[in-house]
Amino acid sequence: MLILPVESVLTRAEVDAIVQKYDPKAVVPAHYFLNGFTSPVSGLESADEWVKDQEKVRHADVRRLDSADLTLNAAELRGSHHRVYYFGNHFEKK
């Protein structure tokens, strides 16, 4: 699994190059703007556009999660290739 900052630290081209180089079973976009959690002055942007672009790729496998939790195991990832797990605007305050 590869966790990458999208739409902020890395450009889309850099993210694509890293994904191609490491060829992960799963990709989790990270370090992006969360409505209601991140300050607008942070400079972070939403990962929505990046995720939408991933959904347009042939054989796309994007999972839009409905909570801030994700538990994976080997069986879950078996046969996956660049599967995107996207938390969207879900977060937990602790």
Residue 37 confidence (pLDDT): 65
E-state strands within the chain: 2-5, 26-30, 62-64, 83-86
pLDDT > 90: percent of the chain = 51
Q: Is the pTM of this model over 0.85?
A: no
CB 46 within 8 A of CB 33: yes
Q: State how far the Cα of 15 lies from the Cα of 81, in Å rounded to an integer.
A: 16
pLDDT in tens, 5-38: 887 788 889 999 999 999 999 999 987 766 666 6
Domain range list for the chain: 2-86
Rounded distance between C-alpha atoms, residue 66 and residue 52, angstroms: 16
Contact 51, 29 (CB under 8 A): yes
